[in-house]
Each structure stands twice: as C-alpha cells, then as structure tokens.
Structure 1
Amino acid sequence: MAKGSFAAMQTSNTQLTFYYENGQTETLSIPIAANDLGQQLQQMLNQPWLIFHLAEQTVMISTQKVIKVEIKPALTQLQGEGIFSNTQRVTALQRGAAGRLGV
C-alpha cells in the first residue's frame, strides 16, 4: 500500500460515469490517475466489453450500449482533432439565469 494520507491516495482515483442508450447511468471510481487513463482511453473504448472488479461484484459494460462517458478529473492532456479545450457546459438553469440576470 502506498505511504501517505488517505486524502493523498484519493487523488489518484478517476471517476467514470457511463450513460447508456436506455437512459440509465452508472458511476465507478477506479484506482488509476486521470493522466494514465487518458493514455489508455482509445484502446479501452475500442473493447467490446469493459470489466470492473468491485469488492462485492464484477461489473461488465458493453461499450456498444454506451453513448457517453464523463471522466473526472478532466483529461486536459488530450489534444488533437475533435478535442475542444476550455469548454463550458450550459444547462437550462444557466440559460434562463443569463436572460434574467444579464450574466
């Protein structure tokens, strides 16, 4: 086990949220630093199945049923065609507030 505080150990985890075709979502925390995951991302998403071993069960995810993946923290090291840096998410609440508050 790595030496250091529990808080320091937490920083090396990456959170993945999978959005499925049927509208369901699932969030998993994996013990891989975001930078390391970024290097494996394309290969990972090309697999027909992703398998995650949890303490109490194994979760298998069909990548063909996934329509979106959110990753925290951000993978800012990814660059190239089709990658847009400094993007902001605009939600319905933000759009409404901008009209009323002049934001």
Structure 2
Amino acid sequence: MRAGSFAQLNQDKENTTQVTFHYVEGHTETFTIPMPAQEFQEEVLHLLSQPWLTFHLVDQTVFICTARLVKVEVKPSIPELQGQGIFPNSLRVSTMQRAAAGRLPMST
C-alpha cells in the first residue's frame, strides 16, 4: 500500500454511499454510489418513488425496478431523514437476541 493511501481510502469512503437492494425474489445487490450520504439523503425519497433506477457501472448499466424491492439499506445511515413513518434511534434485534430473551430467566 502506498504512503497516504489509507487516508485516501477514508476520504473516498466519506464521499460515497453504499446502497443494498433486497428484491422480492430473495436476492440482494449492493452498489457504491459516488455521492456523500448527506447528498444522497436529499434525493432518496424522490429516487424510490421512480419506477426505475439506473446505475452505470464500469462494464455495464443496471436498471432496477423499484416495484420489485422489499427493502433498501443505506450506509452510512442518514438520521437527518425525519417525518411520518420514520423511526429515529431504532435498534435491530438479531434472532439470537430474540431467542435468548425468551429462554434466559430474568431476575427482578
């Protein structure tokens, strides 16, 4: 690794947004978009209301039908999104956590 390349990697990470699409059929695809999360946040609701999204990759162009999506994950998070149907400070509970809560005796 060249000197300073780690700093460049961190800077590139700050200027990109990772989006994972989960399809009705059960498979997923992840894309890195050359756009800071704050900028992506301003467009995300408008983008998801479009019938098709287009991603130009180095070797191909990918079209995604938004009607076939069941979930979209964005990294880094965009907590600035606010309004009806948006739940701030949420936590994901894993299967192991759910199972453990029902099996471990709770002391009072």
Q: What is the TM-score normalised by the length of structure 1?
A: 0.87
Deviating beyond 3 angstroms after TM superposition, the runs of 4 or more aligned structure 1 residues are: 97-102
1:101 Cα deviation after fit: 8.2
Matched AA of 2:92: R
Identity of aligned residues (%): 43
Aligned CA RMSD, in angstroms, stands at 1.6
1:43 aligns with 2:46: yes
State the number of aligned residues. 99
1:81 Cα deviation after fit: 1.2
Matched AA of 1:75: I
1:6 Cα deviation after fit: 3.0
Paired position in structure 1 for 2:71:
68
> Residues 3-62 of structure 1, C-alpha deviation per residue, up to 9 Å, x if partnerless?
x72321221111101011111111111111111111101110111110001111111100
Mark the structure with the bigger radius of gyration.
2
Q: What is the TM-score normalised by the length of structure 2?
A: 0.83
Uncovered stretches (5+) of structure 2, i.e. residues with no partner: 1-6
Matched AA of 1:20: Y
Partners of 2:19 and 2:91 lie apart in 1 by: 19
